[in-house]
Amino acid sequence: MNQELITLIKQWHENNEHQQIVDMLLKVPPADRDYDIISLLGRAYNNLGLYEKALEQFAIIAEQGKQDPVWYFRTGYAYYYMKRYEEAAGMFSTAIELDPDDDRSAHFLESSLRRWQEQQKAEARRKLGKERKDPGALPLEGMDLDSFWEDSAYAREQYISDPPTDELIASVEEELGYKLPASYITLMKHQNGGIPRNTCFPTDEATSWAEDHIAITGISGIGRDKSSSLCGDLGSRFMMEEWGYPDIGIVICDCPSAGHDVVMLDYRYCGRDGEPEVIHVDQEDDYEITFLAPDFETFIRGLVNEEHFDTSEEDLENDLRKVTEGTFSPLLAELCGKISEADGLESNIRSVCARIVREKGCFSFHADELSHLMYDVQFWLYTNAYPATNRQQYLDAYNKMIAFGGEFGQGGYAPGFVSDWLDARIRDGLIIQEKGVLHFTDDARNAVIAKLSAEAEALQA
């Protein structure tokens, strides 16, 4: 591969123009594609989310890649995002054997092993749930449905429709392509959609919502007249087509994240006419699936009140202590030490983060104004110290500053919020991208410094 093509591919990769790479490399006749071309083509397919096509490329060069840790990493990457975690773990493990300093493979190996264990636990719970189910029991038998629902003006306005007729049920099933569970139909004939009194479901593993449970906002009704109904404007098909949720069943419950996670009926194991499982799908974690219950009735009976998990006061105190006293991560401390144009920088950062904790009840950045200020601050600090940073390099480094910053850290973050912020700053002309390198304009940098200082002074006044 000539140097001109290598340079062009590198630039496209840094600018996330992966389709350009595919189009260019596919012009090379198959007989003339060497190891590097095929590996780069597979990488581009990975970055486009075309993981099966990526694996096809990596299979072509499997024999040549036996001693190449990059081949194992890229193959493992495809398996990982196909949720084939056992195979991914094997690939990342070999990559580390060949290159013990491969931090990327170490990170993915840890995640692959954890998620593989979660898959095994889910399979065990799935089998146990099916064994315990009484095939002769009537749907929701013995359940007090009158006390199940919360009565509120919001629920009546947003969720509740007239009880569904058999004709409506049949037409909704035909539109969605799945047979609805008998227990769900029974519940909807009692009240067609709404907000249950108990909105939390315990889990054995952590999700984006909490360490030990998920929460729902409401349950969709059968119909089309309410936006949140199964076939409403914001119903199941909308969540798949506009939000990218997997087409494996029906979105049945929305969650407090306003679209960033949902509860679904999962028909993968039972077929379109069978009894679906209930799963939680997390958009912010690449649509990660967490098994909840073997069927809808088990899910409904398992809902508990949010009071079971209310640790808000304790969490607030812990997070306030974290942001006011916690040690900065090594990277954040290094970056702050290289700034000479802002007085009281560390104190100002702590003050703004303390306000975020007080307002939200937790130390977390989202898409609000103060979060955007902290995204700005981190970008300013990082690019001041590392001025040749491209987009991917920055996104890769982001979690080492505050997101996973140890004592002064959040313990996690939503990558989508960071990339959306970055794209908006570029679009607005506040961040300039020149030959792949990112930096604030002088005016934008000065505005960030001034705003950080002003916010901190206002809080200390």
Q: What is the pLDDT of residues 34-85, one digit of tens each?
A: 999 999 999 999 999 899 999 999 999 999 999 999 999 999 999 999 989 9
Q: Which domain holds residue 419?
A: 312-460
Q: What is the CATH number of the domain that holds 34?
A: 1.25.40.10
- Are 265 and 412 in the same domain? no
Same domain, 318 and 294: no
For residue 432, which phi and psi values (nearest 5 degrees)?
-105, 140
Cα Rg of the chain (Å, integer): 25
Residue 52 inside a domain? The answer is yes
pLDDT, position 58: 96
42 shares its domain with 174: no
| Residue 146 shares a structural domain with residue 289 | yes
Tokens for 242?
């506009």
Whether 128 is in a domain gets the answer no
Asked if 257 and 365 sit in the same domain, the reply is no
Closest among 424, 404, 423 to 413, alpha carbons compared = 404
3-state secondary structure of 440: strand
Alpha-carbon gap, residue 76 to 201, rounded angstroms? 32
Verify that 354 and 420 share a domain, yes or no: yes
241 and 284 in a single domain? The answer is: yes
The pairing of strands 288-293 and 431-434 is unpaired
Entry pTM: 0.56
Alpha carbons 110 and 106: distance in angstroms, whole number: 6
Token pair 């206002």 is found at 458
- Below-50 pLDDT ranges, the chain: none
At 243, the amino acid letter reads W
The contacts of residue 205 (CB under 8 Å, 6+ apart) are 118, 121, 290
Q: Is 201 part of a structural domain of the chain?
A: yes
